[in-house]
Amino acid sequence: MALNVIMLGPPGAGKGTQAERFARSRGIPKISTGDILREAVHAGTDIGKRAKAIMDRGELVSDDVMIEIVRERLARHDAVNGFVLDGFPRTVAQAEALDTTMEGRDPLIVVDLVVPEAELVRRLSSRMICAACGANATIEDVVNAAAGAEPRCGVCGGKLVQRSDDNEAVVRERLKVYHRETEPLVHYYRERPTFRTINGAQAADRVAADLGAAIESAGTGRPLGAHGVTKSRRVRA
């Protein structure tokens, strides 16, 4: 069965890092709509030009644009055996469109990464990305920097910078938008037998272990009560 995973959770919950790890371990693509948009901005395409100002304000790019980007991406050959979507869907309209796109394919496995708000603000204000290749900096990049030297990207050696939408004012707006537009998706999905909740406020390795177990149990239809993982609520007959 294809593992068709979507990651819910607020900005800063660790969706990108965990999606990347899980996707790599299973040889399936991680599809991040934020990364796709940042690449479009970098390349100066029409979509990129329109998206930049919206992203810099912490608001959402229109559903129509996002739905088309994801529909096209999921139709590509490498997503046939599964994928991990990071940052999509972000609205109920996007979730409904995704259900239509997924007709005839294996069911979506929905993972909600839960992290307290104070921890999100702390993480977002200290997050760094590579100015050259866009990779998220890891703690190793920072720790491995020679004394007094600026930390560099572990992937390409590029300079690490703060994301332009990670400053405090924009972070507050993104969290507001998350509560208003994206949190209702928990309601949209929670009765599905493939819905799982993960405690994202743990060490990254622990989160990764819980995520793997949760996706495994959702994919095989087996309930699981491991540490940090809640059983899905069964749909009543």
Residue 90 binds ligand AMP, judged by CB under 6 A: yes
CA of 191: how far to CAs of 165, 185, 188, 195, 231, in Å?
Answer: 33, 11, 8, 7, 11
Interface characters, 168-207, with ligand AMP (x: CB under 6 A): ------x---------------------------------
Instruction: Determine whether 122 is an active site residue.
Output: no
**Which of 101, 106, 102 shows the shortest CA–CA distance to 220?**
106
Instruction: Determine whether 234 is an active site residue.
Output: no
Residue 58 binds ligand AMP, judged by CB under 6 A: yes
Residue 60 binds ligand AMP, judged by CB under 6 A: yes
Spatial distance between the Cα atoms of 214 and 194, rounded to a whole number of angstroms: 9
Which range in 88-96, 99-107, 135-143, 222-230 contacts ligand AMP by CB under 6 A? 88-96
Interacting positions 29-48 with ligand AMP (CB under 6 A): 33-34, 37
Written as one string, the DSSP assignment of 144-164 is TSPTTSPPB-TTT-PBEE--T
Q: How many residues bind ligand AMP (CB under 6 A)?
A: 17
Please check whether residue 8 is in contact with residue 198, taking contact to mean a CB–CB distance below 8 angstroms: no
- Residues 30, 90, 152, 196: which is the catalytic one? 90
Spatial distance between the Cα atoms of 232 and 21, rounded to a whole number of angstroms: 23
Angle, CA 96 vertex, CA 93 and CA 102 arms, to 5°: 140
Find the residue with minimal CB distance to ligand AMP: 34
Closest approach, Cβ 96 to ligand AMP, in A, equals: 13
**Which of 16, 21, 28, 25 shows the shortest CA–CA distance to 80?**
28
Report the interface residues with ligand AMP, using CB under 6 A.
11, 33-34, 37, 54-55, 58-61, 66, 87-88, 90, 94, 165, 174
As annotated, the active-site residues are 15, 90, 127, 163, 174
